[in-house]
Amino acid sequence: MNVEPEVIRRMNDYKEPRFPAIEPYGERAVTVRWSRVMDEGLLSAIRALLFELEQHPLPGMIEAVGAYASVTIYFDPLRLYSFGRAHSRPNSPVNIMIGLIRERLERKRPQEDWSKGPIHRIPVCYGGRWGPDLEDVAEIHGMHPDDVIHMHSEPIYDVNMLGFAPGFPYLGGLPAGLETPRLQTPRTSVAAGSVGIADKQTGIYPLEIPGGWRIIGRTYTTLFSIQSEPPALLQPGDRIQFMPISETEFDRKRRDR
């Protein structure tokens, strides 16, 4: 079993971040915030809390949504109000929720490193008809398109959060040499599966929507489907690696699906 040393390493390396701030967000949500700036060391605490709340939801809770450095918990004030009356916590629903979250965070401290989610390998056909902006991106950086492909497919990217569109992953870890401004005029329609770059970010369009990202390739992997359960392929903490494939392979795989 080569799993054990990994677990031990994780536990030894793991440093618990300081206790987060718990703030009301209107009457119907509370945000647990570790930081106001990006901090990759927080992914573990965020994922641990999301997992804990998924397994053991709080009373009146609707859902918990993770972001770069925070978790926002949405709830129904009426249910919290009833809960407060039943448990002699005569208080405002928001304050009851803040108390419940604080108790939970104090009681269940993560004992291991949660930062490493599964790696999804995403096959991408770069350039040509599937990546119309690859040549431009290469030109902007004075590189050969093959170098752009190599640089883009080398790192393992972290899924920091989902947003912008259903199933859209905000990926951290784009090499600085590939940072490219958005298109001057956004396209009225970008196909689902398009892989793009915008400023310091790279991402994948899960649906056909308008957008101004520079499209360098296309994947046939489905990132979002209303028929799937869960509907989004990725979640915060998951990791992605892009695998370059040829146009022939892309066409064949797409036909097969």
Partner 1 sequence: MAEMEVLRPGLFSVFQDRGRVGVQKYGVPAGGAMDELSMEAANALVGNNRGTAVLEMTISGPTLQFSEAGLIAVCGGDFEMTVNGKSVPLWRPIFIAAGTILRIGHVHRGCRLYLAVAGGFQLPETLGSASTYVKAGFGGWQGRPLQQGDRIALSDPKDCIQELIRRRSEGLPRETVRFEQWGAGRELIPRIGKHLMIRAVKGMEYEQFSPEEQDRFWSRVYTVRPQSDRMGVRLRSADSVETRSSDMVSESVMAGTVQVPADGQPIILMKDCQTSGGYPRIAQIIAADLPVIGQLSPGVRISLRPIPLEDAEDLYILQQVELEQFRQGVQLRMKMERMV
- CB of residue 74 to partner 1, shortest distance in Å: 7
Please report the sign of the dihedral spanned by the C-alpha atoms of residue 236, residue 52, residue 22, residue 80.
positive
Measure the CA–CA gap between 113 and 103, rounded to whole angstroms: 21
Question: For residues 66 and 217, which CB has a smaller minimum distance to partner 1 in the complex?
Answer: 66
Question: For residues 29 and 137, which CB has a smaller minimum distance to partner 1 in the complex?
Answer: 29
- CB of residue 82 to partner 1, shortest distance in Å: 10
Measure the CA–CA gap between 54 and 56, rounded to whole angstroms: 6
- CB of residue 160 to partner 1, shortest distance in Å: 9
Question: For residues 168 and 220, which CB has a smaller minimum distance to partner 1 in the complex?
Answer: 168
Question: For residues 173 and 244, which CB has a smaller minimum distance to partner 1 in the complex?
Answer: 173
Dihedral (Cα; 166, 171, 177, 180), 10-degree rounding: 20
Q: The tokens 């005569």 sit on which residue?
A: 90
Question: For residues 68 and 213, which CB has a smaller minimum distance to partner 1 in the complex?
Answer: 68
Question: For residues 181 and 231, which CB has a smaller minimum distance to partner 1 in the complex?
Answer: 231
Contact set with partner 1 (CB under 8 A): 23-29, 31, 33, 35-38, 50, 62-70, 72, 74, 77-78, 81, 92-94, 161-168, 170, 206-209, 224, 226, 230-232, 235
- CB of residue 1 to partner 1, shortest distance in Å: 33
- CB of residue 232 to partner 1, shortest distance in Å: 4
What is the Cα 81 distance to its own chain's centre? 32
- Of 184, 199, 148, 190, the closest CA to residue 168 belongs to 190
Residue 81 DSSP label: H
Beta pairing partners, 66: 71
Question: For residues 221 and 235, which CB has a smaller minimum distance to partner 1 in the complex?
Answer: 235
- CB of residue 135 to partner 1, shortest distance in Å: 30
* Count of other CB atoms within 10 angstroms of residue 216: 29
Residues 6+ apart with CB under 8 A from 9: none
Residue 167 DSSP label: T
Specify the long-range contacts of residues 250-255, CB closer than 8 Å, at least 24 apart.
250/123, 250/125, 250/130, 250/218, 250/220, 253/123, 253/220, 254/220
- CB of residue 198 to partner 1, shortest distance in Å: 13
